[in-house]
């Protein structure tokens, strides 16, 4: 007997006939002898309708009351779903988040799960009932109803699968799996038979709305097998699984975040702690910050740019202006109407020329790249929103993703799922602070050199040309960061292995001379990498890491973030001290 969690999204329960169809799927599993927990979303676009209703009353609704309102959507569906199961002759019980005991913190409208009690659900499963759980909602320690953020039912489902040690978590939705990019944007996208947790985490957090990013944090932390499949047609779907089970592709997918804005804090005094103050000011206001780029200081001042979701831009501007005043920066500027296109893939770490290829594909379509950041498994480029769809198409085509569906489909649904019972101790460990940031390691890499182009003309294709030349020279670049252009000039930095520094610097100088730019190179830098799960979404990490570095007088030269990694580059002579500070701040043992 297996235990399976089945989640049905809004479109999969949009009307009574779809609710009955979903119930039939659960009943079939149940009749095959498995225990079934269903997690359901609000019907169709009901959550949007509730949001609009609130907006008709006030433009500043209280977050607590929003949660009270939005949680009703899922409550309707659970009741109807239980009735549907009854009508099919099966014992079933609906439960709201509070009834299950999904405990969250009190951050209304974006609450994080602290713990889930398994007793109620187990009791019902053991007496043979199907449990129908409301997605997206929980309860805080004071008994207030909370919600997990839009799209949060995925997180409820995977979290329940984790605490119940389910054999499989099926996500039923309106697409038949995870595609190389959103098939609504690009019909030529292809379905991936498998995708690694880290790739899915990046895809989701960089804009692929098909899965709530936090659900993949749970999946990775607790090793939950997640199968994304269609509610409306049978098929193998996509298995989200450990990297060892997923096909190793250079690029697996392209994600688009269509509504991005860029803030630039200009003329920030170049001293330890300045960038920390800017970023932590934003993150402590609950604003998710991405693509943080600081250019080389000139005359003791630097510019710091970052991107935020356009929906947060007003609040972000208020915070940035306040912090700019406090630290004596020259001012804040903001550009709206941008979009972020990201290529994601586990294989890019070890393959040269990936960045160059991506930038060349954009240049060929005359799409200007406004800012670049990379991590080991993703490259993000900021472009004009009007270019977004064409940019996705260009990157998708250049990596041949129309034909990406290599590897074989999983046979998970036909295999007999055998459950290995978990010990009570393990369950307790799973429950504590379920959604806390999980840091795995912090490493110091002293083998890198940093090369920066200064005053590079900001014309379409310049990044492509630079990385084409660098690729031809046989150089494998690691981090790449391109700052916001000012007065038509941008800065572009990259790191390479120190042993290739001579070649990198010479190549860079030749490239720079041809374009009237300069090159600054630092033969040895220290790169610190923190790996874990949920690094970007737990925005407070910037607070807890940049602060102690700043206090020790350590200046950060370059930062790049992803969901699974935070890289910072500091001066090589400060590497040892920096790693000791970070390990202590993270509660990791000394090496």
Q: Which residues bind ligand ADP (CB under 6 A)?
A: 9-12, 41, 151, 173-175, 178-179, 181-184, 208-210, 253
Q: Does 177 contact Mg ion by CB under 5 A?
A: no
Q: Does 534 contact Mg ion by CB under 5 A?
A: no
C-beta of 203 vs 316, nearer to Mg ion: 203
Give me the sign of the Cα torsion angle 148, 153, 158, 159.
Answer: positive
C-beta of 256 vs 522, nearer to ligand ADP: 256
C-beta of 41 vs 190, nearer to ligand ASP: 41
C-beta of 9 vs 353, nearer to ligand ASP: 9
Q: How many CB atoms are located within 10 Å of the residue 337 CB?
A: 12
Q: Does 138 contact ligand ASP by CB under 6 A?
A: no
Find the residue with minimal CB distance to Mg ion: 151
Cβ 257 vs Cβ 207: under 8 Å: yes
Cα 372 from Cα 494, distance rounded (Å): 11
Cα 572 from Cα 522, distance rounded (Å): 9
Cα 67 from Cα 108, distance rounded (Å): 7
Q: Does 153 contact ligand ASP by CB under 6 A?
A: yes
Taking CB within 5 to 8 Å according to partner kind, which of ligand ASP, Mg ion, ligand ADP, none is near residue 208?
Answer: ligand ADP
Determine the interface stretch with ligand ASP among 144-152, 190-198, 330-338, 492-500 (rule: CB under 6 A): 144-152
Question: Least distance (Å) from ligand ASP to the CB of residue 74?
Answer: 6
Cβ 435 vs Cβ 116: under 8 Å: no
Question: Least distance (Å) from ligand ADP to the CB of residue 559?
Answer: 27
Taking CB within 5 to 8 Å according to partner kind, which of ligand ASP, Mg ion, ligand ADP, none is near residue 44?
Answer: none
Taking CB within 5 to 8 Å according to partner kind, which of ligand ADP, ligand ASP, Mg ion, none is near residue 184?
Answer: ligand ADP
C-beta of 209 vs 548, nearer to ligand ADP: 209
Cβ 321 vs Cβ 330: under 8 Å: no
C-beta of 46 vs 448, nearer to ligand ASP: 46
C-beta of 205 vs 373, nearer to Mg ion: 205
Cα 278–chain centre separation: 21
Cα 385 from Cα 374, distance rounded (Å): 20
What are the residues facing 591 on neighbouring strands? none
- Of 4, 10, 69, 538, the one binding ligand ASP (CB under 6 A) is 10
Task: Tell me 421's DSSP state.
Answer: P
C-beta of 50 vs 552, nearer to ligand ASP: 50
Q: Does 151 contact Mg ion by CB under 5 A?
A: yes
Cα 51 from Cα 46, distance rounded (Å): 9
Taking CB within 5 to 8 Å according to partner kind, which of ligand ASP, ligand ADP, Mg ion, none is near residue 399?
Answer: none
Neighbouring residues of 196: CB distance < 8 A, sequence distance ≥ 6? 240, 241, 242, 243, 245, 246, 252, 346
What are the residues facing 94 on neighbouring strands? 132
Question: Least distance (Å) from ligand ADP to the CB of residue 28?
Answer: 20
Cα 326 from Cα 265, distance rounded (Å): 12
Token pair for 557: 């030269």
Taking CB within 5 to 8 Å according to partner kind, which of ligand ADP, Mg ion, ligand ASP, none is near residue 359?
Answer: none
Question: Least distance (Å) from ligand ADP to the CB of residue 189?
Answer: 7
Find the residue with minimal CB distance to ligand ADP: 9
Token pair for 547: 């602060």
Tokens 């979290």 correspond to: 159
C-beta of 87 vs 406, nearer to ligand ADP: 406
Taking CB within 5 to 8 Å according to partner kind, which of ligand ASP, Mg ion, ligand ADP, none is near residue 35?
Answer: none
Q: Does 461 contact Mg ion by CB under 5 A?
A: no
User: Which of 213, 178, 174 shows the shortest CA–CA distance to 193?
Assistant: 178
Distance between first and last Cα of the chain: 44
Q: Does 150 contact ligand ASP by CB under 6 A?
A: yes
User: Which of 546, 489, 484 shows the shortest CA–CA distance to 261?
Assistant: 484
Determine the interface stretch with ligand ASP among 40-48, 96-104, 423-431, 455-463 (rule: CB under 6 A): 40-48
Cα 328 from Cα 414, distance rounded (Å): 63
Determine the interface stretch with Mg ion among 8-16, 63-71, 284-292, 573-581 (rule: CB under 5 A): 8-16
Binding footprint of ligand ASP, residue count (CB under 6 A): 12
Token pair for 225: 């097998």
Say if strands 130-134 and 113-116 run parallel, antiparallel, or are unpaired: unpaired
Residues of the shown chain interacting with ligand ASP in the complex, contacts defined by CB under 6 A:
9-10, 41-42, 47, 73, 135-136, 150-153
């Amino acid at each position: 007997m297996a235990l399976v969690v089945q989640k049905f999204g809004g479109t999969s329960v949009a009307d009574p006939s779809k609710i009955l169809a979903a119930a039939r799927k659960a009943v079939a599993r149940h009749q095959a002898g498995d225990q079934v927990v269903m997690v359901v979303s609000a019907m169709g676009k009901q959550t949007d309708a509730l949001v609009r209703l609130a907006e008709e009353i006030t433009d500043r609704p209280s977050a607590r009351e929003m949660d009270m309102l939005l949680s009703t959507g899922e409550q309707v569906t659970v009741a109807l779903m239980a009735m549907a199961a009854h009508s099919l002759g099966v014992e079933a019980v609906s439960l709201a988040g509070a009834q299950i005991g999904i405990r969250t913190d009190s951050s209304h409208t974006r609450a994080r799960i602290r713990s889930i009690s398994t007793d109620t659900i187990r009791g019902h499963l053991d007496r043979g009932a199907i449990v129908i759980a409301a997605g997206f909602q929980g309860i805080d320690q004071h008994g207030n109803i909370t919600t997990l953020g839009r799209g949060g039912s995925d997180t409820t489902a995977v979290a329940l699968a984790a605490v119940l040690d389910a054999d499989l978590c099926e996500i039923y939705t309106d697409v038949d799996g995870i595609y190389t990019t959103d098939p609504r944007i690009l019909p030529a996208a292809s379905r991936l038979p498998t995708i690694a947790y880290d790739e899915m985490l990046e895809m989701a957090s960089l804009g692929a709305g098909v899965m709530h990013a936090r659900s993949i944090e749970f999946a990775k932390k607790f090793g939950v097998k997640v199968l994304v499949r269609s509610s409306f047609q049978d098929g193998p779907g996509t298995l989200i699984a450990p990297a060892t089970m997923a096909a190793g592709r250079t690029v697996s997918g392209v994600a688009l975040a269509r509504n991005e804005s860029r803030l630039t804090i200009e003329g920030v005094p170049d001293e330890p702690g300045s960038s920390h103050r800017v970023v932590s000011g934003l993150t402590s206001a609950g604003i998710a910050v991405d693509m943080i780029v600081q250019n080389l200081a000139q005359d003791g001042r630097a510019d710091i740019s970052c991107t935020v979701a356009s929906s947060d831009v007003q609040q972000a501007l208020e915070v940035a202006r306040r912090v700019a005043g406090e630290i004596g920066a020259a001012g804040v500027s903001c550009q709206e109407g941008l979009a972020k296109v990201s290529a994601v893939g586990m294989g890019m770490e070890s393959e040269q020329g990936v960045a160059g290829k991506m930038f060349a594909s954009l240049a060929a379509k005359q799409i200007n790249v406004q800012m670049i950041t990379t991590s080991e498994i993703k490259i993000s480029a900021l472009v004009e929103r009007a270019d977004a769809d064409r940019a996705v198409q260009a990157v998708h085509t250049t990596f041949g993703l129309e034909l990406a569906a290599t590897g074989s489909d999983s046979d998970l649904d036909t295999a007999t799922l055998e459950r290995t019972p978990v010990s009570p101790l393990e369950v307790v460990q799973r429950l504590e602070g379920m959604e806390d940031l999980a840091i795995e390691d912090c490493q110091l890499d002293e083998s890198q050199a940093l090369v920066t182009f200064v005053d590079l003309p900001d014309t379409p294709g310049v990044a492509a040309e630079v990385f084409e030349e660098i690729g031809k020279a046989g150089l494998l670049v690691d981090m790449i960061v391109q700052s916001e252009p000012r007065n038509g000039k941008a800065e572009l930095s990259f790191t390479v292995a120190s042993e290739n520094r001579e070649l990198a610097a010479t190549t860079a100088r030749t490239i720079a001379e041809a374009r009237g730019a300069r090159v600054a190179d630092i033969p040895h830098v220290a790169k610190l990498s923190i790996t874990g799960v949920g690094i970007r979404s737990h925005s407070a990490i910037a607070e807890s890491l940049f602060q102690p570095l700043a206090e020790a007088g350590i200046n950060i030269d370059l930062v790049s973030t992803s969901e699974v990694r935070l890289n910072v580059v500091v001066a090589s002579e400060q590497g040892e001290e920096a790693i000791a500070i970070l390990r202590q701040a993270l509660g990791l043992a000394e090496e």
